Amino acid sequence: MRTALLGAGRIGRVHAAAIAADPRSTLAAVSDPMPDAARALAGEHGVPVRGIADVLADDGIDAILIASSTNTHADLIEAGVRAGKAVFCEKPIDLSLARARAVQAVAAGHDRPVMLGFNRRFDPNFAALKAALEAGEIGRGETLTITSHDPAPPPVEYIRVSGGLFRDMTIHDLDMAAHLFGMPETVTAQGACLVDPAIGEAGDIDTAMVLLAWADGRLAVIRNSRRAAYGYDQRVEVLGSAGMLAAENVTEDTVVRATAAGVSRAKPMHFFLERYARAYAIEWAAFVAAVLDGGKVPATVEDGVNALAMAEAANRSLAEGRTVAVGEV
Ligand SMILES: NC(=O)c1ccc[n+]([C@@H]2O[C@H](COP(=O)([O-])OP(=O)(O)OC[C@H]3O[C@@H](n4cnc5c(N)ncnc54)[C@H](O)[C@@H]3O)[C@@H](O)[C@H]2O)c1
């Protein structure tokens, strides 16, 4: 599957490696308006730098992978669909829910796969937890706790264009909640700026707790912080009628150090590039399988719209100090 990569930034580099490593896909071109970034990544893979219009008009390109800045995703998905390409796009679809819904309408008429980059769905630990839940190993899942703490906050310039904590960071946790329990009915969010006052000055929060409730009474809590002194803290726990499932952090090594001073182990892997390295490769293989073998993509544009709707509900809940029904947004 000949793939053009649009966006040669942080996550673009990860995807370029995944495309090249998958035996069923080939990186065919790199596009990025920043010539240095495009040339460097294309050079590493021995492929040409090409313009987006050129790539879209080329019948020899089967798929595009959109790893560009968030504000370009909606237009590029639509352009890819109109050019008849299979499309993989990083989250989020857009910062505007209305714009994301417009993209959903365009993609609905497409006869080729369009997939969203909700990488955590493909983390082997979270996938095993979901499989155990669906197999009924803990009876009926009743409460869900998702912990997502970044090791350190990003620069405030990033925060200013990120769309805010809920649409930038919590969106992964909201998707995980919907992935495990289905769409919730209500969202109640509280947030604070405890990590970096500059984030507050930029109008955002860096710490949050989000409570989700389902119509049948099931509950979830999402705990977010932009700082964890011990590394990237990524855990999921489900309490069920007949037991509990917990996916713990993946640590840098598995050695337990027991001495007279106490018992310790290594920190969690530093950040998403390390922790989710396998997830990105499995995610890409799933997209390639959907394109080459047919079948439904495992993270759809609808999933992207749903996650954005929950993030929007969280924003409204925070602003208005009340519980918000997802159906309101
Ligand atoms: N799923 C994940 O784990 C994950 C992780 C990081 C980032 N992301 C998402 O990936 C996207 C990129 O994030 P990043 O951290 O790599 O950002 P980045 O700023 O490092 O890279 C973005 C690149 O896109 C390029 N670009 C801008 N407009 C473009 C266009 N029209 N066509 C092609 N390239 C264009 C920029 O020049 C830049 O090189 C964001 O939407 C972000 O939310 C997802």
Which residue has a Cα nearest atom 2 of ligand 1? Answer: 119
Which ligand 1 atom is at minimum distance from the Cα of 276? 3
The torsion region of residue 26 among left (phi > 0), alpha (psi -120 to 50) and beta comes to: beta
Which ligand 1 atom is at minimum distance from the Cα of 71? 41
Q: Where in the chain is the domain with CATH 3.30.360.10?
A: 121-279+306-328
Cα–ligand 1 centroid distance for 117 (angstroms): 12
Cα–ligand 1 centroid distance for 235 (angstroms): 25
Class of domain 2-112: alpha beta
Q: Where in the chain is the domain with CATH 3.40.50.720?
A: 2-112
Does the Cβ of 323 fall within 6 Å of ligand 1? no
- pLDDT (tens, 9 = 90+) of the chain, 329 residues, equals 999 999 999 999 999 999 999 999 999 999 999 999 999 999 999 999 999 999 999 999 999 999 999 999 999 999 999 999 999 999 999 999 999 999 999 999 899 999 999 999 999 999 999 999 999 999 999 999 999 999 999 999 999 999 999 999 999 999 999 999 999 999 999 999 999 999 999 999 999 999 999 999 999 999 999 999 999 999 999 999 999 999 999 999 999 999 999 999 999 999 999 999 999 999 999 999 999 999 899 999 999 999 999 999 999 999 999 999 999 99
CA distance 173 to 250: 17
Whether residue 154 contacts residue 228, with contact meaning beta carbons closer than 8 Å, is answered with no
Cα–ligand 1 centroid distance for 4 (angstroms): 14
Looking at domain 121-279+306-328, its CATH superfamily turns out to be: Dihydrodipicolinate Reductase; domain 2 (3.30.360.10)
Which residue has a Cα nearest atom 29 of ligand 1? Answer: 68
CA distance 42 to 8: 9
Which residue has a Cα nearest atom 41 of ligand 1? Answer: 70
